[in-house]
Amino acid sequence: MTTATAAGGVLSRFDPQLNGRDPLWRAEARLAALEWVGKHGFPTRKDEDWKYTGLESILAVSFEAATVGSSRWVTADMIEAAAVDLGGARLVFVNGHFASELSRLTGLPAGAEVTSLAAVLAAGPERLERFFSHAPGQHHAFAAFNDALTEDGAFVHLTPNTCVNEPIQLVFFSDTGGFRLMSSPRSVILAEPGSSATIIETYAGIDGDVYCTNAVTEVVLAEDAQIEHYKVQDEPVTAFHLALLDVRQGRGSGFSSRSVMLGSSIARHEVRVLLEDVGAEVSLDGVYLPQGDQLHDNTIFVDHAAANCTSHQLYKGVLDGRGHGVFNGHIMVRPGADGTDANQKNKNLILSDRAEADTRPRLEIYTDDVKCTHGAAVGQLEEDALLYMRARGIPLKAARGLLINAFVHEMVDRIALLPLRVQVEALVAGRFRNGYRSVEP
Amino acid sequence: MMLKIEDLHASIEDNEVLRGLNLELNAGEVHAIMGPNGSGKSTLANVLIGREGYDVSGSVRFQGQDLLALSPEDRAAAGVFLAFQHPVEIPGVGNLYFMRTALNSLRRQRGQDELDPVDFLALAQERMELVEMDQSFMSRSVNEGFSGGEKKRNEILQMAILEPKLAILDETDSGLDIDALRVVANGVNALRSEGRGMLVITHHQRLLDYIVPDRVHVMAAGQIVRSGDKDLALELEKHGYAGMTQQHSQASRVPVGATR
Residues of A in contact with B102 (CB under 8 A): 389, 392-394
- Domains in chain B: how many in total? 1
Question: Which residue in A has a C-alpha nearest to residue B101's C-alpha?
Answer: A394
Cβ contacts of residue A404 below 8 Å, gap of 6+?
A: A318, A349, A351, A381, A432, A436
CB contact under 8 A, A406 and B98: no
Query: Chain B residues within 8 A (CB-CB) of chain A?
Result: 49-52, 71-73, 75-77, 81-82, 84, 87-88, 90-93, 98-99, 101-103, 105-106, 109, 141, 158, 162
Contact yes or no for A151/A68 (Cβ under 8 A):
yes
- Provide the b/e sequence for A215-249 (b: ≥16 CB within 10 Å): bbbbbbbbbbbbbbbbbbbbbbbbbbbbbbbbbbb
Overall pTM > 0.90: no
CB contact under 8 A, B72 and A410: no
Tell me, yes or no, whether B112 lies in a domain.
Answer: no
Picking from B93, B144, B159, B170 by the largest number of A CB atoms within 10 A of its own CB, the best residue to mutate is: B93
Tell me, yes or no, whether B126 lies in a domain.
Answer: no
Instruction: Compute the distance between CA of residue A376 and CA of residue A362 in angstroms, rounded to an integer.
Output: 10
Across chain B, mean pLDDT equals 90
CB contact under 8 A, A391 and B75: yes
Contact yes or no for A279/A421 (Cβ under 8 A):
no
pLDDT of residue A336: 95
CA dihedral sign of residues A428, A430, A436, A437: negative
Candidates A275, A265, A321, A272; CA nearest to A296 is A265
CB count, 10 Å around CB of B115?
16
Contact yes or no for A330/A372 (Cβ under 8 A):
no
ipTM: 0.93
Candidates A359, A293, A346; CA nearest to A320 is A293
Tell me, yes or no, whether B125 lies in a domain.
Answer: no
Residues of B in contact with A394 (CB under 8 A): 73, 101-102, 105
Tell me, yes or no, whether B198 lies in a domain.
Answer: yes
A30-68 per-position pLDDT tens digit: 888 888 888 888 888 888 888 888 888 898 888 888 888
CB contact under 8 A, B92 and A398: no
pLDDT of residue B200: 96
CB count, 10 Å around CB of A271?
24
CB contact under 8 A, B49 and A391: yes
Asked if A410 reaches chain B (Cβ–Cβ under 8 Å), the answer is yes
Instruction: Compute the distance between CA of residue A389 and CA of residue A412 in angstroms, rounded to an integer.
Output: 23
CATH number of the domain encompassing residue B30: 3.40.50.300
Mean pLDDT of B112-135: 93
Size of interface A-B (CB pairs under 8 A): 76
A266-311 per-position pLDDT tens digit: 999 999 999 999 999 999 999 999 999 999 999 999 999 999 999 9
| Least Cα separation, residue A388 to chain B (angstroms) | 7
Question: Which residue in B has a C-alpha nearest to residue A412's C-alpha?
Answer: B92
Tell me, yes or no, whether B159 lies in a domain.
Answer: no
Instruction: Compute the distance between CA of residue B47 and CA of residue B54 in angstroms, rounded to an integer.
Output: 7
Tell me, yes or no, whether B100 lies in a domain.
Answer: no
Picking from B52, B70, B73 by the largest number of A CB atoms within 10 A of its own CB, the best residue to mutate is: B73
Tell me, yes or no, whether B108 lies in a domain.
Answer: no
Domain span at B81:
3-91+164-251
- Mean pLDDT in runs of 10 for chain A (441 residues)? 49 61 82 86 86 88 83 87 94 96 93 95 82 65 88 96 97 93 95 98 96 96 98 96 96 98 96 97 97 96 97 96 96 97 96 95 94 93 95 94 89 91 89 49 28
| Least Cα separation, residue B110 to chain A (angstroms) | 11
Tell me, yes or no, whether B101 lies in a domain.
Answer: no
Residues of A in contact with B52 (CB under 8 A): 383, 387
Asked if A379 reaches chain B (Cβ–Cβ under 8 Å), the answer is no
